[in-house]
C-alpha cells in the first residue's frame, strides 16, 4: 500500500499495526485478535489487506456452516 494512503473515514494517516476484527452475526460473536492491518492514526479505523480479508471470510464461512450444528446439539 502506498505511503500516501489516507483513511476512508477521516483522511488520517494509515500505519501498519495489529488490531482485532469483531463480528456479530447469525447467533454468534467472533473476535479475532492481532490481525495485521493498516490502522488510522487519527480515528483508529482499520483497513485490511486482501490476504487478511480472505482469511477472515474463510473463518466466517466455516462459522456460518458450523453454528447451526451447534444449535441442533444444544436443542
Per-residue pLDDT tens for 41-51?
A: 999 999 999 99
Collapse the DSSP code of 46 into the 3-class scheme (helix H, G, I; strand E, B; otherwise coil) and give the result. Answer: strand
Domain chopping of the chain, boundaries: 14-74
Q: Are 43 and 7 in contact (CB under 8 A)?
A: yes
CATH class of 14-74: alpha beta
Write the pLDDT tens digit of every residue in 17-70: 999 999 998 788 999 999 999 999 999 999 999 999 999 999 999 999 988 877
Confidence of residue 3 (pLDDT cuts 50, 70, 90): low
Collapse the DSSP code of 17 into the 3-class scheme (helix H, G, I; strand E, B; otherwise coil) and give the result. Answer: strand
Amino acid at each position: 500500500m502506498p505511503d500516501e494512503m489516507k483513511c476512508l473515514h477521516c483522511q488520517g494517516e494509515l500505519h501498519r499495526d495489529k488490531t482485532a476484527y469483531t463480528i456479530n452475526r447469525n447467533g454468534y460473536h467472533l473476535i479475532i485478535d492481532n490481525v495485521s492491518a493498516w490502522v488510522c492514526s487519527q480515528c483508529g479505523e482499520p483497513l485490511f489487506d486482501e490476504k487478511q480479508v480472505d482469511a477472515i471470510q474463510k473463518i466466517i464461512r466455516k462459522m456460518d456452516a458450523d453454528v447451526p450444528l451447534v444449535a441442533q446439539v444444544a436443542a
